Structure 1
Amino acid sequence: MIRHAILSLAALLPLAACTAPPPPASASAPTPADLPPASAAGVAGTVSAADPRAEAAGLAMLRAGGSATDAAIATMLALTVVEPQSSGIGGGGFLVRGTADGTVETFDGRETAPAGATPDWFLDENGEVPPFSESVRSGLSVGVPGNVALAALAHRQHGRLPWARLFEPAIELARDGFRMTPRLHRSLAGTAERAGWTAQGRALFFDAQGTPHPAGHLVVNAALAETLEAIAAGGPEAFYHGERAASLAATVAAETPRAGAMTAGDLAAYEARARDAVCGTYRDYRICGMGPPTSGGVAVLQILGQLERFDLAALGVDNPVTWHLFVESQRLAYADRELYLADADFVSVPVAGLVDPGYLARRSALIAPDATMATVAAGVPEGAPRALADGDEPEERGTSHFAVVDGANTMVSYTSTIESAFGSGLMSGGFFLNNELTDFSRSPTVEGRLVANRVEPGKRPRSSMAPMVVWDPQGRPVLAIGAAGGSTIPVQTARSIVGVIDFGLDAEAALALPFAMAYGDAVLVEKGTWLERAIPRLRALGHETVTAREVGLKANAVLYRDGKWTPARDPRIAAQIVVP
Structure 2
Amino acid sequence: MPRPPSSFTVLSLAAAGLWLALGAPAIAQQGLAPAPEAATGRTARALGTAQRFMAAAANPLAAAAGRDILRAGGSATDAAIAIQLVLNLVEPQSSGIGGGAFFVHWDEAGRKLATLDGRETAPKAARPERFLGADGKPMKFVDAVVGGRSVGIPGTVRLLEEAHKRWGKLPWPQVIAPAIKLAEDGFAISPRLGGLLAFEKNLGKDARAAAYFYEADGKPKAIGTVLKNPAFAATLRSIAEAGADAFYKGEIAQDIVATVTGHKDNPGDMTLDDLAGYKVEERAPVCGRYRVYTLCGMGPPSSGAIAVQQILGILETKDLARLGPGPEAAHWFTEAGRLAFADRALYLADPAFISVPAAGLIDEGYLRERARLVSPDKSMGKAIAGDPPNKRAQLLAPSDGIENGTSHISVVDAAGNAVSMTTTIEDGFGARLMTAGGFLLNNELTDFNLAPTEDGKPVANRVEPGKRPRSSMAPTIVFDAFGRLYAVTGSPGGSQIIGYVAKTLVALLDWKMDPQQAVDLGNFGSRNGPTELERGTEAEGWRAALQAKGHEVRLLEMTSGIQAIVKTPAGYLGGADGRREGVAIGD
TM-score normalised over the length of structure 1: 0.90
- Measured against aligned partners, the alpha-carbon deviations of 1:333-372 in whole angstroms (never above 9, x if no partner) come to 0000011100001111111221222211111111232222
In the alignment, structure 1 residue 534 sits paired with structure 2 residue 542: yes
Per the TM alignment, residue 260 of structure 1 is displaced from its structure 2 partner at its CA by: 7.2
- Measured against aligned partners, the alpha-carbon deviations of 1:402-453 in whole angstroms (never above 9, x if no partner) come to 1000111111000010001100001111000000000000111111111100
The match for 1:113 is 122
- The 3 A distance-change label for structure 1 pair 419 and 19 is farther
Matched AA of 2:214: F
In the alignment, structure 1 residue 138 sits paired with structure 2 residue 147: yes
Residue aligned with 1:56, SS:
helix
2:208 to 188, 192, 200: 200
- The 3 A distance-change label for structure 1 pair 313 and 366 is same
Check the 8 A contact 1:526/1:549 in 2, yes or no: yes
The match for 1:128 is 137
The match for 1:339 is 346
The match for 1:273 is 281
The match for 1:213 is 221
2:494 to 486, 490, 493: 486
Check the 8 A contact 1:17/1:352 in 2, yes or no: no
Per the TM alignment, residue 23 of structure 1 is displaced from its structure 2 partner at its CA by: 13
In the alignment, structure 1 residue 412 sits paired with structure 2 residue 419: yes
2:372 to 350, 360, 365: 365
Identity of aligned residues (%): 46
The match for 1:94 is 102
Matched AA of 2:327: P
**Aligned mates of 2:433, 2:160 — CA distance in 1:** 23
Matched AA of 1:441: N
The match for 2:388 is 381
- The 3 A distance-change label for structure 1 pair 16 and 142 is farther
Check the 8 A contact 2:533/2:540 in 1, yes or no: yes
- The 3 A distance-change label for structure 1 pair 113 and 257 is farther
The match for 1:21 is 9
Matched AA of 1:403: S
The match for 1:453 is 461
- The 3 A distance-change label for structure 1 pair 257 and 181 is closer
Check the 8 A contact 1:286/1:471 in 2, yes or no: yes
- The 3 A distance-change label for structure 1 pair 87 and 575 is closer
**Poorly superposed stretches of 4+, deviation over 6 Å:** 13-19, 22-25, 256-260
Per the TM alignment, residue 480 of structure 1 is displaced from its structure 2 partner at its CA by: 0.5
- Measured against aligned partners, the alpha-carbon deviations of 1:4-58 in whole angstroms (never above 9, x if no partner) come to xxxxxxxxx9999998338999xxxxxxxxxxxx967xx8311000011111111
Matched AA of 2:408: H
**Aligned mates of 1:435, 1:18 — CA distance in 2:** 39
Matched AA of 1:468: T
Matched AA of 2:112: T
The match for 2:191 is 182
1:353 to 360, 382, 405: 360
- The 3 A distance-change label for structure 1 pair 107 and 160 is same
User: Which residues of 2 match residues 37-436 of structure 1 at below 5 A?
Assistant: 44-100=52-108, 102-191=111-200, 193-255=201-263, 261-317=269-325, 319-382=326-389, 383-397=391-405, 399-428=406-435, 429-436=437-444
**Aligned mates of 1:182, 1:203 — CA distance in 2:** 20
Matched AA of 2:52: A
Per the TM alignment, residue 256 of structure 1 is displaced from its structure 2 partner at its CA by: 7.6
Residue aligned with 2:516, SS:
helix
**Aligned mates of 1:156, 1:24 — CA distance in 2:** 30
- The 3 A distance-change label for structure 1 pair 248 and 375 is closer
Residue aligned with 1:338, SS:
helix
The match for 1:548 is 555
Residue aligned with 2:202, SS:
helix
**Aligned mates of 2:7, 2:340 — CA distance in 1:** 23
Check the 8 A contact 1:559/1:567 in 2, yes or no: yes
The match for 1:501 is 509
What is the root-mean-square deviation in Å for CA atoms of aligned residues? 2.4
- The 3 A distance-change label for structure 1 pair 23 and 139 is closer
Check the 8 A contact 1:140/1:256 in 2, yes or no: no
Task: Say which is worse superposed, 217-226 or 556-565, in terms of deviation.
Answer: 556-565
**Aligned mates of 2:581, 2:82 — CA distance in 1:** 22
- The 3 A distance-change label for structure 1 pair 51 and 260 is closer
Check the 8 A contact 2:575/2:583 in 1, yes or no: no
1:561 to 541, 564, 568: 568
Check the 8 A contact 1:414/1:467 in 2, yes or no: yes
Q: Mind listing any 5+ residue stretches in structure 2 that lack a counterpart?
A: 14-47
**Aligned mates of 2:216, 2:583 — CA distance in 1:** 25
Check the 8 A contact 2:260/2:267 in 1, yes or no: no
Per the TM alignment, residue 331 of structure 1 is displaced from its structure 2 partner at its CA by: 0.3
Matched AA of 1:20: F
Per the TM alignment, residue 574 of structure 1 is displaced from its structure 2 partner at its CA by: 4.4
Matched AA of 2:419: V
The match for 2:45 is none
- The 3 A distance-change label for structure 1 pair 471 and 523 is same
Q: Mind listing any 5+ residue stretches in structure 1 that lack a counterpart?
A: 1-12, 26-37
Matched AA of 1:571: G
Task: Say which is worse superposed, 115-124 or 335-344, in terms of deviation.
Answer: 115-124
**Aligned mates of 2:187, 2:133 — CA distance in 1:** 42
Number of equivalent positions: 547
Per the TM alignment, residue 199 of structure 1 is displaced from its structure 2 partner at its CA by: 1.6
Check the 8 A contact 1:174/1:225 in 2, yes or no: yes
Matched AA of 2:509: I
**Aligned mates of 2:449, 2:202 — CA distance in 1:** 22
Matched AA of 1:110: R
Matched AA of 2:88: T
Residue aligned with 1:508, SS:
helix
**Aligned mates of 2:53, 2:181 — CA distance in 1:** 23
Check the 8 A contact 1:97/1:106 in 2, yes or no: yes
